[in-house]
A and B are shown apart, each in its own frame.
Chain A
């Protein structure tokens, strides 16, 4: 895994979350998640009565593919070669970076344009190419903004959801050289127009275009990208070399299987019926083609996926990166993506990041959940995200790594919970005591050992009786 962004140690996650909560600009920007994605997805889903059936089918497609992944990888590779392209297998991020750099150097590349690719972020591709003396231009609008800010994306499909237009205007004024100082950058339209003009020059001049893939089709050897801006298409079509970088679980068997998943992808992500562009790329320029790349290479990345196969976390390999679980997560909606300290944030990141980077680097992520279950409910691939997060919590606990205080408290609680008489006696003793201490307000502003809770909100006090006592009373009065 690349860079410091993958190191989500407990300290940085908690600090990141605290910073996010105190950041007024971020909180304003995060309102756009609720206003936009959630409403649009609900509408798109309601317009397609077959949605749930398609979800079941999509799940079955991916499960079948993963069960036969070695064979589909071979079938896909055969088809790519047949259409004049080449496939490179990269066991690790380092291998993938080296392969891409070698291909770029082989093409004499000075300038590389890129479509949006989370896998390229995962392997830290830009820094590697730049260190190799190659200029890299991100062309997706959100990724372009992230690049000039020197940040990581905060959302897997909306990289700058954490920003407001005023902040972006400042970035453009600073980073886009050679333009009049007093030019208008007040509206979103102004910003989009400026990015279009600036990036158009890059598209025309680029030697190599690098894209990710939403899906790879074994039947035809095609890579599919799903976009709205058209930047991915200019990236694929104009330069002399097109490099696709995709992880091995992106494979589906047939065009029909791709259709089923495409019906779910945009509706779940942006809430569109379909994006403006869905593009199937199969090999390089053919005889008689007046445009298109002269060569076509695919880099297939493993980087920890094969270790998820056949184990507790295989279900996560169905993920199609639509972002619905982020959009619907109350934790994500409150702190945004950067606080996770992980390239993949939100519920899908909480499951995937420990699998790819190791639980040591992501111990707080599976805990950053209220287990409300909305992520699983909206997942178009029916991934049981809360169960998978729970599995990480269990593993983390079994390893004996959690802080001593936490382990001691849990052991103490377990000791009492396994002895009902003791548990009830303690409850009966403590509940009225807390109720008296809290006074008429019925809540604590601060409490020893509970500073983490009371630092940001009051703790409601018990009303004097335990749940068991109240339950017994109700039953008695009902039986009467």
Chain B
């Protein structure tokens, strides 16, 4: 047996000895298989079980209380103008990085012709970025972003200002609904390489419990809800 196999065998046999099992018991295997297949939900907080409109309002309120700025855009043109406003609000150059997300790509960018868009993963000198969340859970104001060329993960962490767009129809009540959306997209038992649940800007309270924004990630988080 090679060294890695020995380590594996040692740990598993110690666990089995402690539990007084062989690992081959049919009932135990069935219990595990059943739980993984059915993935039953626990208690869902009542605050997550509201009408779609109430969920949007809760998402807004939670994000605001966690230090994000939220804009509701009724039209795609408004959304584009909100992206520009987020940069102006912090005196940032009107330039940002984004991926190849088709929803973002087909926005009417003509509505803010002063904006310069760059594409691809974030680079060290980028000061602002735009991503799209595939889902958002109202219960704690949490946006779900997934890795890939459409919305590279580095966009969420390297620049000092991050704007996230979410369609109102992608807002759900609880985390579990968001994961069900991901299961529908990627298949059961599979997740994209990275799923980021983002609920506010980067912060730290390590020194004297004093909260400071922009510890390592973005100082500014803007969320634009479209539709």
Q: Which B residues are in CB contact (< 8 Å) with A260?
A: 42-43
Q: A279-B197, A290-B152 are in contact. Are A309 and B18 (CB under 8 A)?
A: yes
Complex alpha-carbon distance, A362 and B45, angstroms: 41
Q: How far is the CB of A90 from chain B (nearest CB, A)?
A: 6
Q: Which residues of B contact A2 (CB under 8 A)?
A: none
Instruction: Mark A180-201 against chain B: 1 for CB-CB distance below 8 A, else 0.
Output: 0000000011011101100110
Instruction: Find out whether the CB atom of A228 lies under 8 angstroms from the CB atom of B191.
Output: no
Q: B154 contacts which chain A residues (CB < 8 A)?
A: 237-238, 291
- A249 vs B188: C-alpha distance in the bound complex, in angstroms? 24
Closest-by-CB residue of A relative to B124 is A204
A158 B206 Cβ-Cβ under 8 A: yes
Determine whether the beta carbon of A289 is less than 8 Å from that of B193: yes
Interface 9-residue window, one of A50-58, A340-348, A374-382, A454-462: A50-58
Question: Could you say which of B148, B190, B214 contacts A192, with CB atoms under 8 Å apart?
Answer: B214
By the criterion CB–CB under 8 Å, are A71 and B207 in contact? no
Taken together as a complex, chains A and B put the C-alpha atoms of A231 and B192 apart, in Å, by 20
- Kindly supply a per-residue 1/0 record for chain B positions 179-212, scoring 1 wherever the CB is within 8 Å of any chain A CB and 0 otherwise: 1000000000111111111111111111111101
B168 is an interface residue with CB less than 8 A from chain A:
no
Residues A29 and B157 in contact in the complex (CB < 8 Å), given A50-B45, A70-B23, A282-B194: no
In the bound complex, what is the Cα–Cα distance between A362 and B141 (angstroms)?
Answer: 43
Known: A256-B179, A280-B195. A231 touches B215 (CB 8 A): yes
A77 to B18, CA, bound (A): 20
Q: In the bound complex, do residue A288 and residue B148 qualify as a contact, i.e. CB atoms below 8 Å apart?
A: yes
Known A54-B42, A255-B39, A292-B147; contact A248-B11, beta-carbon cutoff 8 A: yes
Q: Given A142-B206, A281-B193, A70 and B153 touching (CB < 8 A)?
A: no
Bound complex: CA A159 to CA B149 (Å): 36
Contact residues in B for A277 (Cβ distance below 8 Å): 196-199, 202, 217
**On chain B, which size bracket covers the interface?**
35 or more
Taken together as a complex, chains A and B put the C-alpha atoms of A158 and B207 apart, in Å, by 9
- Segment from B24-32, B81-89, B110-118 that makes contact with A: B24-32
From A60, which residue of chain B is reached at the shortest CB distance?
A: B42
Please state if A230 and B215 are interface contacts (CB–CB under 8 Å): yes
Among candidates B4, B152, B193, residue contacting A283 with C-beta atoms closer than 8 Å: B193
B101 close to A (CB within 8 Å): no
B62 at the binding interface (Cβ < 8 Å): yes
Task: Let me know if A306 is at the binding interface, CB within 8 A.
Answer: yes
A254 contacts B153, CB within 8 Å? no
Contact check: which of A91, A203, A282 meets B192 at CB < 8 Å? A282
Q: A89-B4, A222-B191, A259-B179 are in contact. Are A229 and B142 (CB under 8 A)?
A: no
Bound together, the chains give a CA A90 to CA B39 distance in angstroms of: 29
Q: Is B215 touching A229 in the complex (CB atoms < 8 A)?
A: yes
Which residues of chain A are near B149, meaning CB under 8 Å? Answer: 288-290
Residues of B close to A145: CB separation below 8 A: 206-207
Residue of A71, A234, A276, A283 near B23 (CB, 8 A) is A71
Q: Provided the pairs A141-B215, A281-B193 are in contact, do residues A29 and B28 lie with their beta carbons within 8 angstroms? A: no
Interface residues of A in 387-410 (CB under 8 A from B): none
Q: Say yes or no: A89-B194 contact (C-beta < 8 A), given A57-B43, A233-B157, A256-B42.
A: no
Contacts of B175 in A (CB 8 A): 259, 262
Chain B residues, CB < 8 A from A193: 214
A220/B199 in contact, CB under 8 A: no
Q: Which residues of A contact B214 (CB under 8 A)?
A: 192-193, 196
The answer to whether A284 has its CB under 8 Å from any CB of chain B is yes
Contacts of B19 in A (CB 8 A): 67, 69-70, 309-310
User: A276: which of B41, B99, B201 is its contact (CB, 8 Å)?
Assistant: B201
The CA-CA distance from A124 to B4 in the complex, in Å, is: 21
Name B's interface SS: loop
Chain B residues with CB below 8 A from A160, complex form: 206-207
| CA–CA, A58 and B204, complex, Å | 27
Kindly provide the distance from the CB of B2 to the nearest chain A CB, expressed in whole angstroms. 12
Q: Mark B104-123, 1 if CB is under 8 A from A, else 0.
A: 00000000000000001110
Q: Does B12 contact A (CB under 8 A)?
A: yes
Does chain B have a CB within 8 A of A79? yes
Given A50-B45, A72-B32, A259-B175, are A286 and B209 neighbors across the interface (CB < 8 Å)?
no
Q: By the criterion CB–CB under 8 Å, are A48 and B45 in contact?
A: yes
Q: Which B residue's beta carbon lies closest to that of A67? A: B19
Q: Contact between B147 and A279 (Cβ–Cβ < 8 Å)?
A: no
Given A89-B4, A192-B207, A270-B205, A71 contacting B32 (CB threshold 8 A): yes
Q: Which residues of B contact A288 (CB under 8 A)?
A: 148-149
CA distance A159 to B147 in the complex (A): 31
Known: A90-B7, A280-B195. A292 touches B153 (CB 8 A): yes
24 example contacts (A-B, Cβ-Cβ < 8 A) are as follows A32-B208, A35-B209, A49-B46, A50-B43, A88-B7, A89-B4, A89-B8, A89-B10, A89-B12, A188-B207, A196-B216, A222-B191, A228-B205, A229-B204, A237-B157, A253-B36, A256-B39, A259-B175, A275-B199, A276-B201, A277-B217, A279-B194, A280-B194, A280-B195
Q: A70-B23, A248-B11 are in contact. List 6 more A-B contacts (CB 8 A).
A: A164-B208, A236-B194, A238-B154, A259-B174, A260-B43, A290-B149
A-B pairs with the 4 shortest C-beta distances? A230-B217, A36-B209, A229-B215, A309-B18
Which B positions have Cβ atoms within 8 angstroms of A? 4, 7-8, 10-12, 14-21, 23, 28-29, 31-32, 35-36, 39-43, 45-46, 62, 66, 99, 120-122, 124, 140-142, 147-149, 152-154, 156-158, 174-176, 179, 189-210, 212, 214-218
